[in-house]
């Protein structure tokens, strides 16, 4: 449904706008019927009588006051194509033989008022109220009644009857005005058609009243009545003589030409072959009331009076005849005019390129509903009086244009813009009714609406496209403003967004709730009303977080991947690539995980145009792809540095066809490569226990540089060394930069070590991220005191580096100063039990020999 104002033209606009604004501020919705599509014609704006809703429709764009006192009877109207002046005739109203009014002609010059100032549009779909005592809307283009030119002579003051009615213009811009009531004494110049130069000075008239006998004299009306004059396609001027049943003709300069007889016409087969009128006294008489000519093929249109006479039973129609007037080619409008009434009009639009070009307009005497037909005689629409949106919907069978004040129409004309002029109020004598109505068409449709919601979600920037008003004579005035309607309940109700009047095609709506989805409708407005609107939906703002990833290479090999600070496995060190689950750290406006939406990459052209794609290549950097809603980046060979792509999250398939810019966020990948500076150092110490029987060896390996080390192994080949106990700072066999590995082992002191010292050397090896082997060695010497009691060495077994305990193995074969290193943990490197036994036997023999030597001495 549509809100309706009740007073003529525009009433209560401010009050209704304030009411809507108040409801919006209160958090309430103005209830308007929901629209099911993304385009439409009816808005939530309160209807202004006379204005139209939807593209290509006609609305009231202005009026010109013609009232000049209670005796004013506006009739003919014409816009001079030479200078744009508006001419209006006042018929003076003849009743029987009495002249009720003052026959005259009004000429309105155009002022210098620009269209923007003449407009009555105030903004937000509202128009100012129109007053009956002045020109309104585009009527302000013309002088007011106080400054218009009034041509009284030769229509008044000579004591004779006059009736200026139909107006037309020749190729020089001279006006031709039929003086319907005027006749003169036989032999006196009649000047049935008065003529005036464009500046309104009088020039010689044409046409004589004549009588029935001198019918063959060119320019002779033979006493026939006439209200109409028109210009033919060949430039000749034509005027009908009602009783004489003919068309009187002149050339463009006013020289009379032979008349065209209209009685007993032939009827084309397409028109049925038989005239609708019955013969009277053996002849068919039509009694023409008005005439108009097609500007292209010269076809003639005739309105007739015989429908009120002996032809009353006949359904009224408009005759279309061949250019020579002798053949009826079509009976137009049968069934559209009331019976027993005189046909008024016709008028043909001669403005090439206008939407009603070559259309013919006619109506009956008391109908006040103008009927429009195209050049083929097919019905187009009707024009009548009305104040409601429903009456002026311009749809259905009649496509009725209903505007206030279209009562008692008398004349129709068109200007160079294609605007339509209708003189009304020819009978009433009331100021409010006596006007020239000006009608034009509504704007072109808004063809697309784009929406860009702010990162915070509290603003939406709208931009739209709407074709400019077509060049004259398109009958479409300039766009004055665009209205924006907003819905937060899925289109069930709409509120008008209050904004300044502007023809700019962008506007930012503020103060929004980020958790709410909105719909917007944008429509163009001009003086005739609004064009078709276009809608766009804007989802609630998702909370998107920018994503980052790193690809760390060492000497050309990928050694570390991170996504949003979390390490990712390196599947292939040769593939400089990373995949990010970008939705993992994003949520909806309500704070829950985003589901049912797709990730799209943003491709921005140099002119700022954006496309939303699944793949995007950035020259010199690499290629981005969306795979299962994750973004994968494959770097170009040799690329180092930072690469960034923006992405959006939108409904599947929705972001591509719709002109909606979802909130963008970014995915940044940093690719690096470096030469490894990793190395390792080794320290070794040894400490003899208090009994002098065992040495504890401490080995410390330290990772140097900025890269981690792997495959860390300590090798110590000291015979008799125990299993090495490792204390790893993290994962076994791995050291991060600066970390230390502490390894501890013990070895026994044997008699062969006494007196003297034990020298032990250890070595550590490791791999850098590029698989380069680094190593270090350390030697430590332990001084031994006097020989201790001999003891049997304990057998040992090989120990691996990652073992914590194992039996020690000793190989006491001589001086400890030059021991051969053995890899700890190698089974083949340990001393056998047999060796220990041999050592024990040897020690016993030496002791026995010594004792024996002492005894001998």
- Confirm whether 191 is domain-assigned: yes
Secondary structure of 748-759 in HEC code, one letter for each residue = ECCHHHCCEEEE
**Residue labelled with tokens 């406006």:** 589
Q: For residues 136 and 403, give the distance between their C-alpha atoms in angstroms, rounded to a whole number.
A: 14
Q: For residues 605 and 586, give the distance between their C-alpha atoms in angstroms, rounded to a whole number.
A: 27
Indicate the pLDDT class of residue 251, thresholds 50, 70 and 90: very high
**Residue that terminates a domain, selected from 538, 558, 580:** 538
Residue 814 has what pLDDT? 35
Contact yes or no for 235/246 (Cβ under 8 A): no
Residue 137 has what pLDDT? 96
Domain membership of residue 280 as a residue range: 52-441
Indicate the pLDDT class of residue 470, thresholds 50, 70 and 90: confident
Q: Write out pLDDT tens, residues 589-628.
A: 888 999 988 999 999 999 988 888 999 999 999 999 999 9
- Confirm whether 12 is domain-assigned: no
**Residue that terminates a domain, selected from 605, 640, 674:** 674
Q: For residues 147 and 669, give the distance between their C-alpha atoms in angstroms, rounded to a whole number.
A: 76
- Confirm whether 43 is domain-assigned: no
Q: Is the pLDDT of residue 309 over 80?
A: no
- On whether both 651 and 613 belong to a single domain, the answer is yes
C-alpha to C-alpha distances, 587 to 33, 353, 590, 649, 665, nearest whole angstrom? 34, 56, 7, 11, 13
Question: What is the token pair recorded at 128?
Answer: 């100012």
**Residue labelled with tokens 């009026």:** 63
Q: For residues 816 and 491, give the distance between their C-alpha atoms in angstroms, rounded to a whole number.
A: 96
**Residue labelled with tokens 């007011």:** 144
Residue 840 has what pLDDT? 40
Q: Which residues contact 253 (CB under 8 A, 6 or more apart)?
A: none
Q: For residues 469 and 531, give the distance between their C-alpha atoms in angstroms, rounded to a whole number.
A: 11
Q: For residues 109 and 83, give the distance between their C-alpha atoms in angstroms, rounded to a whole number.
A: 9
Contact yes or no for 347/360 (Cβ under 8 A): yes
Q: Evaluate the omega torsion of the peptide bond into residue 596 and state whether it is cis, within 30 degrees of 0.
A: no
- On whether both 113 and 133 belong to a single domain, the answer is yes
Q: Is the dihedral of CA 700, 704, 710, 714 positive or negative?
A: negative
C-alpha to C-alpha distances, 313 to 243, 289, 359, 813, nearest whole angstrom? 20, 19, 28, 149
Indicate the pLDDT class of residue 467, thresholds 50, 70 and 90: confident
Q: Is the dihedral of CA 399, 403, 407, 408 positive or negative?
A: negative
- CATH (domain of 670): 2.60.40
- On whether both 426 and 288 belong to a single domain, the answer is yes
- Confirm whether 462 is domain-assigned: yes
Q: Which residues contact 744 (CB under 8 A, 6 or more apart)?
A: 696, 697, 698, 699, 724, 725, 727
**Residue labelled with tokens 């929004």:** 512
Contact yes or no for 668/643 (Cβ under 8 A): yes
- Confirm whether 31 is domain-assigned: no
Q: For residues 477 and 34, give the distance between their C-alpha atoms in angstroms, rounded to a whole number.
A: 29
Question: What is the token pair recorded at 193?
Answer: 């058609």
Indicate the pLDDT class of residue 808, thresholds 50, 70 and 90: very low
Residue 390 has what pLDDT? 97
- Which SS3 state, helix, strand or coil, does residue 627 take? strand
Q: What percent of the chain has pLDDT over 90?
A: 64
Q: For residues 615 and 626, give the distance between their C-alpha atoms in angstroms, rounded to a whole number.
A: 6
Would you give the DSSP letter of residue 158? S
- On whether both 521 and 552 belong to a single domain, the answer is no
Residue 719 CB neighbour total at 10 angstroms? 24
- On whether both 297 and 220 belong to a single domain, the answer is yes
Residue 37 has what pLDDT? 64
- CATH (domain of 490): 2.60.40.10
Q: Which residues contact 242 (CB under 8 A, 6 or more apart)?
A: 224, 225, 226, 287, 288, 289, 305
Q: Is the pLDDT of residue 697 over 60?
A: yes
Q: Is the pLDDT of residue 855 over 90?
A: no
For 261-319, give the DSSP string.
E-SS-EE-GGGTSS-SSPPBTTB----EEEEEE-TTT--EEEEESGGGTTTTTSPP-EE
C-alpha to C-alpha distances, 23 to 85, 387, 574, nearest whole angstrom? 47, 27, 65
- Confirm whether 776 is domain-assigned: yes
- On whether both 528 and 551 belong to a single domain, the answer is no
Query: What's the number of domains the chain is made of?
Result: 4
Q: For residues 135 and 117, give the distance between their C-alpha atoms in angstroms, rounded to a whole number.
A: 13
What is the rounded average pLDDT for all residues in the chain?
85
- Which SS3 state, helix, strand or coil, does residue 378 take? coil
Virtual torsion, Cα 226, 231, 237, 240, nearest 10 deg:
-20
Q: Which of 620-634, 775-789, 821-835 has the highest mean pLDDT?
A: 620-634
- On whether both 622 and 660 belong to a single domain, the answer is yes
Q: What percent of the chain has pLDDT over 70?
A: 82
Q: Which residues contact 685 (CB under 8 A, 6 or more apart)?
A: 697, 698, 780
- Confirm whether 571 is domain-assigned: yes
- On whether both 295 and 340 belong to a single domain, the answer is yes
- On whether both 657 and 718 belong to a single domain, the answer is no
Residue 631 has what pLDDT? 98
CA proximity to 232, closest of 322, 305, 319, 303: 322
**Residue that terminates a domain, selected from 538, 561, 580:** 538
- CATH (domain of 248): 2.120.10.30
Q: For residues 190 and 179, give the distance between their C-alpha atoms in angstroms, rounded to a whole number.
A: 10
Residue 191 has what pLDDT? 86
- On whether both 640 and 736 belong to a single domain, the answer is no
Would you give the DSSP letter of residue 92? -
Q: Write out pLDDT tens, residues 159-209.
A: 678 889 999 999 999 999 999 887 655 555 578 999 999 999 999 999 887
Out of 13-27, 65-79, 592-606, 608-622, which region has the weakest mean confidence (pLDDT)? 13-27
Q: For residues 758 and 810, give the distance between their C-alpha atoms in angstroms, rounded to a whole number.
A: 13
Give the mean pLDDT of 403-408: 94
- Confirm whether 20 is domain-assigned: no
- On whether both 103 and 116 belong to a single domain, the answer is yes
Q: Write out pLDDT tens, residues 553-563.
A: 988 999 999 99
Write down the pTM of the prediction: 0.72
- Which SS3 state, helix, strand or coil, does residue 529 take? strand
Q: How many helices (H) and strands (E) does the chain have?
A: 3, 60
Residue 322 has what pLDDT? 98
- On whether both 228 and 371 belong to a single domain, the answer is yes
Strands 533-538 and 518-526: antiparallel
């Amino acid at each position: 449904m549509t809100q309706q104002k009740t007073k003529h033209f525009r009433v209560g606009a401010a009050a209704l706008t304030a009411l809507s604004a108040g409801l919006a501020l209160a958090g309430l919705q103005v209830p308007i019927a929901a629209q099911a599509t993304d385009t439409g014609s009816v808005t939530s704006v309160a209807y202004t009588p006379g204005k139209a809703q939807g593209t290509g429709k006609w609305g009231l764009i202005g009026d010109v006051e013609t009232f000049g006192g209670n005796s004013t009877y506006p009739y003919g109207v014409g816009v001079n194509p030479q200078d744009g002046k508006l001419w209006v005739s006042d018929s003076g109203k003849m009743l029987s033989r009495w002249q009720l009014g003052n026959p005259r002609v009004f000429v309105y010059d155009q002022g210098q008022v620009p269209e923007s100032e003449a407009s009555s549009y105030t903004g937000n779909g509202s128009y100012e109220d129109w007053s009956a005592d002045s020109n309104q809307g585009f009527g302000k283009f013309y002088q007011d009644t106080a400054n218009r030119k009034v041509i009284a002579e030769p229509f008044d003051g000579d004591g004779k009857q006059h009736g200026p009615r139909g107006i037309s213009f020749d190729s020089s811009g001279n006006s031709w005005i039929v003086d319907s009531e005027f006749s003169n004494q036989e032999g006196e110049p009649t000047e049935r058609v008065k003529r005036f130069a464009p500046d309104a000075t009088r020039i010689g008239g044409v046409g004589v009243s004549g009588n029935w006998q001198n019918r063959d004299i060119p320019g002779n009306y033979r006493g026939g009545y006439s209200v109409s004059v028109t210009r033919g396609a060949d430039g000749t001027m034509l005027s009908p003589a009602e009783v004489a049943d003919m068309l009187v003709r002149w050339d463009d300069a006013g020289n009379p030409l032979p008349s065209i007889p209209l009685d007993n016409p032939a009827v084309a087969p397409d028109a049925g072959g038989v005239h609708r009128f019955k013969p009277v006294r053996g002849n068919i008489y039509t009694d023409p009331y008005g005439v108009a000519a097609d500007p292209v093929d010269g076809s003639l249109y005739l309105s007739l009076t015989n429908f009120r006479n002996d032809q009353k039973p006949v359904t009224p129609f408009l005759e279309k005849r061949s250019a020579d007037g002798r053949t009826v080619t079509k009976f137009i409008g049968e069934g559209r005019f009331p019976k027993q009434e005189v046909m008024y009009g016709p008028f043909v639009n001669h403005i090439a390129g206008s939407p009603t070009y070559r259309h013919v307009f006619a109506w009956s005497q008391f109908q006040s509903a103008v009927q429009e037909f195209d050049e083929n005689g097919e019905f187009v629409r009707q024009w009548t009086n009305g104040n409601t949106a429903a009456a002026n919907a311009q749809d259905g069978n009649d496509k009725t244009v209903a505007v206030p004040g279209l009562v008692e129409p008398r004349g129709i004309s068109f200007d160079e813009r294609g605007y339509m002029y209708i003189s009304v109020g020819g009978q009433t004598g009331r100021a409010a009714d006596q006007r020239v109505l000006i009608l034009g068409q509504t704007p072109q449709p808004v063809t697309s609406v784009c929406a860009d919601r702010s990162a915070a979600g509290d603003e939406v920037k709208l931009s739209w496209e709407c074709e400019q008003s077509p060049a004259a004579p398109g009958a479409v005035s300039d766009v004055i403003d665009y209205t924006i309607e907003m819905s937060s309940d899925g289109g069930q109700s709409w509120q008008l967004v209050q904004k300044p009047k502007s023809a700019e095609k962008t506007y930012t709506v503020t103060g929004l709730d980020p958790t709410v989805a909105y719909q917007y409708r944008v429509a163009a407005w001009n003086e005739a009303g609004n064009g078709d609107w276009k809608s766009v939906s804007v989802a609630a703002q998702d909370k998107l977080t920018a994503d980052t990833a790193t690809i760390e290479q060492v000497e050309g090999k990928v050694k570390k991947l991170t996504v949003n600070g979390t390490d990712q496995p390196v599947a292939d060190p040769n593939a400089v690539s990373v995949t990010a689950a970008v939705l993992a750290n994003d949520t909806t406006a309500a704070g829950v995980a985003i589901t049912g939406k797709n990730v799209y990459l943003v491709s921005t052209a140099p002119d700022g145009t954006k496309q939303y794609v699944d793949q995007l290549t950035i020259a010199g950097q690499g290629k981005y792809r969306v795979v299962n809603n994750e973004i994968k980046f494959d770097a170009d060979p040799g690329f180092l540095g930072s690469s960034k792509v923006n992405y959006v999250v939108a409904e599947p398939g929705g972001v591509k066809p719709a002109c909606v810019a979802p909130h963008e966020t970014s995915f940044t990948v940093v690719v690096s490569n470096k030469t490894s500076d990793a190395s390792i150092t080794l320290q070794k110490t040894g400490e003899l226990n208090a009994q002098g029987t065992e040495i504890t060896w401490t080995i410390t390996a330290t990772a140097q540089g900025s890269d981690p080390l792997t495959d860390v192994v300590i090798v110590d080949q000291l015979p008799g060394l125990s299993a090495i106990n490792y204390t790893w700072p993290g994962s076994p066999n791995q050291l991060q930069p600066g970390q230390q590995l502490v390894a501890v082992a013990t070895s026994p002191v044997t008699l062969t070590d006494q007196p003297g010292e034990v020298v032990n050397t250890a070595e550590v090896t490791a791999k850098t991220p590029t698989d380069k082997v680094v190593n270090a060695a350390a030697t430590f010497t332990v001084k031994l005191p006097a020989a201790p009691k001999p003891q049997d060495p304990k057998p040992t077994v090989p120990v691996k580096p990652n073992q914590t305990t194992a039996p020690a193995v000793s190989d006491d074969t001589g001086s400890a100063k030059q021991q051969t290193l053995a890899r700890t943990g190698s089974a083949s490197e340990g001393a056998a039990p047999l060796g220990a036994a041999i050592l024990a036997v040897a020690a016993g023999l030496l002791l026995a020999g010594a004792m024996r030597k002492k005894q001998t001495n």
